[in-house]
Chains A and B, each alone.
Chain A
Amino acid sequence: MAKEGLENARVPKTKRSGRIVIHGERCWGCSLCELACSLYHEGLCNPSFSRISVRKDFLELSFKPDLCIQCAWPSCYYECPAGAILIDERTGARYIDPDRCTGCGRCAGVCPLMPDAEVIRYRESGGKRTYFKCDLCRERNEGPLCVAVCPRNALEYDAKEV
């Protein structure tokens, strides 16, 4: 079944994705990326709704941005029982179609970065969960917004593999 699933994939399995490279040592914890991300995708400023999340410790001054690395072999994509994870034609981003997402949480369960890094999150409305993750701002021609807004160049968009 799994094999058949791969052959029926909507894009060839070799389709690579662009990727946001994180230079964690440059991050100073300002949260602009989180706020920009949630504003762009959700229409309000709320770090809990951001696709990128920064683990901040202002007592030790350590900051660690967590973001989907757009795996070359994305388990979330292969394992989603609803076929809700799609691959963007232009950027290669592995993204979640909220209309198809049933909220089962399988994607988060199989993600190699979760749960330490909160890269796949969900929101709840009307008793239904919908998962969301980084889509590389696939509809934004200028590229990912978090990269544009970061004052420290701690995020860099690498599209060369697309």
Chain B
Amino acid sequence: MTSADAKPFPHRHLLGIEHLSADEISALLDHSDAYVELNRRPEKKLNRLRGRTLINLFFETSTRTKTSFELAGKRLGADVINMSVEGSAIKKGETLIDTAMTLNAMQPDAMVIRHPDSGAADLLSQKVNGSVINAGDGSHAHPTQALLDAVTIRRRLGHLKGLTVAICGDILHSRVARSNIQLFGKMGALVRVVAPPTLLPASIERLGVEVHNDMVAGLKDADIVMMLRLQTERMKGAFVPSIREYFRYYGLDREKLAHAKPDALIMHPGPMNRGVEIDTEVADDINRSVIREQVEMGVAVRMACLDALVHQKLERPTDVAAA
């Protein structure tokens, strides 16, 4: 099972992109590619994590991320337990620490956490012995989403360096945006953020991005148009006055998309609000929208991450290559 070119992966946890080097990111993307092939075979199961235990600990509702991690763990042969704690009457933070200590006593090899508070995954990682994978903490980070976005793009366009990536919408509350800004920055892409001023966090330009308030300028000659979800409760006068005004100026439709490169890819981390941040026609454009591919890549990327973290090695899944 062990390939000769295995490299050490000196990380126990995956809390954010900032801890990964460009080389490590590239290697994770390479391995994700291999897992994509595996996932397309009828027989999908490996035994790289056989006997290992993975706990999915979700303090926020999630369908696709939870399913994606569950499948990733199972396809690597791990035993997977799902715990959903959202909507609990107990104060969430107490639940986090208490739950972490309890679960840790059961000797899981890896814990996947999603939590509404920024820093929750960091906090959990200080309390447990196994690996912690951040599946989204508040507005802070969602590293596997950034990695799956990168794999999706690389498979379509062949590279990341030199691309112009326009991230549009609710940057203020978006952990996906923050992780993508870091990842694409590290990989040599130009990142733009496009949003009304009320949806941009303070000093965002200090993160090394171009800041645009206008979609036409922001999308100009972009290779990638990445739309973010805008939660409905933020559209009723709090951050933007209305859905129709938001869609008029910041919703992705054919007209605005025309300013991007003709073959620009359309991405969305899901779930989409059709008619709010993205027009249905654009979202379903089979030539340009890679939104469904993103979901497929999610499983592969999480397999690559779980394998690297649990073994602390970057190893090509050799039996995939052999198949």
Partners in one complex: no
Enumerate chain A interface residues (CB-CB to B < 8 A): none
Enumerate chain B interface residues (CB-CB to A < 8 A): none
